[in-house]
Amino acid sequence: MAFTILVLIGWLALETFATSLSVLESEFNSPANVSARARVQKPTRCPDHCSYDSTQWFVYSSTSRVARCNQTMLLDFMLHTPLNNSDTRHTIYACTANATAGLVSEESYEVGLWSAADTTTSASSLNLTPLNHVKEYMTENCQKSSIFAFSEFEEMAVGVYVGGSLQHADNIDSAAQKVTKMLKSTDTPQSMVLQYCGTSSNYTLGIAVDLNGDLAAVQQYVLTWSDGECVSGFATSQAVPMTLFSSKASTAETSSSSPKNNTTLSVRSFRHHSHDHENSHSHSLHRRSTCSYVQVFGGDTCTTLAAECGITLAEFEEYNTACSSPLAVGQYLCCSSGSLPDFSPSAYANGTCYTYNVGSGDTCSALAAEYSLTVDEINGFNNNTWGWYGCDDLQAGQAMCLSNGTAPYPLAIANAVCGPQVPGTNFTGTDGAADWAALNPCPLNACCDIWGECGATPDYCNDTLAASGAPGTAPAGSNGCIFNCGTDIVNNATAPASYAAVGYFEAYNVDRSCLNMDAISIDPTKYTHVHFAFGNITSNFSISVAGQEQQFEYFKELVGMKRIISFGGWDFSTNVDTYMIFREGVAAANRDTLVNNVVEFVTSNALDGVDFDWEYPGEPDIPGIPAGSDEDGSNYLAFLQALRTALPDKSISISAPASYYYLKAFPIAAIAEVVD
């Protein structure tokens, strides 16, 4: 019964309502695929609640997308990629914040302020939720390496950094209390920074608050601390006495560890080591020709490193010719005679490259120094790595290669719905990026972009790679496309066998004070099909045209066109008293009853067909009514199939939304095989 038509909608009675008929070709149209693919997932303004691994958080591509959320969020992004640089990509991990013994010394913290003439927020009205949530997150985070975190809510942006040799919980709790007290007791500043700058980034602590919501500015302050430097340029500043809690003495601790071919990675830590030295700054001799060694952190000098090793500067310089040139963060230097180990990793036994998950504080230069590599070697290892933009544009949470070998599977993105980064994706049987791109295709053959989001507009369908040429990338300012790309019409070469001119007669127009029209006035020369809008379906699934009996009698007298009864419409589909009728009527328990009643009404009134305007199966967010179910689409198809069996020679049609967002719950390809 199915055939291809070009639809010309004729509006009768001078009032337009939103409806359209759309038939999309799909290769995923078997009944087995209908249930799995016909899902509406509501795009939320805010991400899910926080977990301690930020690679489990939602991913957004811009600060403007982050700003849509009206709840407090924790954020994670590349520290070395400025958020206000439009020439780079921004992978911003976000989650909705949950309201959930060492050495002690008295130190002097610095508090710096910038004031703004146009700042109107009073101290009493400040919402300190972002500061409180980032404090809770970091005080409960038990990592021992340097960490940082960001949070944003309304007009407040917060960034916190704690070096790996400082206790997280006690220091953050103390510093956050001090910032809170000062914000509430002073004239409201534009920005405030509280910082303690030790001998290196490993001994640095800072909290930055910006009341204009400037995340890029806060990012720069945290980057300064991670480089072992102090923020400067305040309008005013003062020294504040506070207690500092250190996790260890500033003398070298030793360990007899050597590099291993496995790694434990956490995006929240500033350094992500695959060597067994996550908390010790220096390491002892583990074979006669190998020296004990120390690692460089931001702000370190040969003088500070010699102190870490517990030797004199002269001895340190004797062991390390590198002291004659600038030190690289992440590199190793000797604390004793001998040579440094070779930290360069090898591919795994299965041929996959040695895989490293990029952290938000990483740079290729630091990784090269840490793993006995060069930046050029790292770039070369990753030519075919999914989502690789090059060392100048690292993306947090990316799986990358630190050796030769085949590219690793891309890491999951919590809010991805298509492509290889959907959580739980099974890569069995796939062979490289071309196969990966086809995993978890979008409903309706819609485009899948690099972020794992589906759509049918150029925002999702631009099939262009970044300059790196790596799979899963896109030029700056574009979301790219990895599968089912492009917006060209590709199935329109052959004209349909016939055309139809379809009109909806709004029978209820006679109740208006003007612009009235009787059904008997419809010109039969202008239309091939006229739909009577609307018939009624009651809660017990009986059929009538109650209230429009006279117009329906006129309608039945029309000749020269197909006369079709239509059910549904926006009001019927969304009114609190009637929204459930379609949902329950197509369900298995009531399907036969509704089919039989529709068939009896069509045949007893000698009509030519039936039309349905359900707005919409599986809808997730229409105000005032519960969200639809995942089964609505498949139930709708089963109802139409049963109706086709009962009315093999009648016209059966539906109205479908033009919006991909609402259309994706329709198993439209399978429905197209049933309806006219």
Positions marked active-site: 615
Q: Is-contact 138 167, C-beta < 8 A?
A: no
Count Cα neighbours of 477 within 13 Å in the Cβ-side half-sphere: 3
Closest by CA position to 658, among listed 456, 493, 452: 456
Which two tokens mark 523?
């010109």
Alpha helices in 347-432 (DSSP H): 364-370, 375-381
Alpha helices in 163-301 (DSSP H): 168-185, 215-226
Closest by CA position to 109, among listed 269, 263, 225: 225
Q: Is-contact 316 323, C-beta < 8 A?
A: yes
> Cα separations (Å) of 551 from 538, 601, 604, 610?
20, 16, 17, 17
Which two tokens mark 219?
């990012």
Which residue carries 């997308």 as its tokens? 65
DSSP-assigned letters across all residues of 619-654: -S--TTS----TTHHHHHHHHHHHHHHH-TTSEEEE
Q: Report the alpha-carbon distance of residue 553 to residue 241 in Å, rounded.
A: 90
Q: Is-contact 213 64, C-beta < 8 A?
A: no
Q: Report the alpha-carbon distance of residue 646 to residue 640 in Å, rounded.
A: 10
Q: Report the alpha-carbon distance of residue 482 to residue 476 in Å, rounded.
A: 16
Closest by CA position to 272, among listed 344, 361, 334: 361
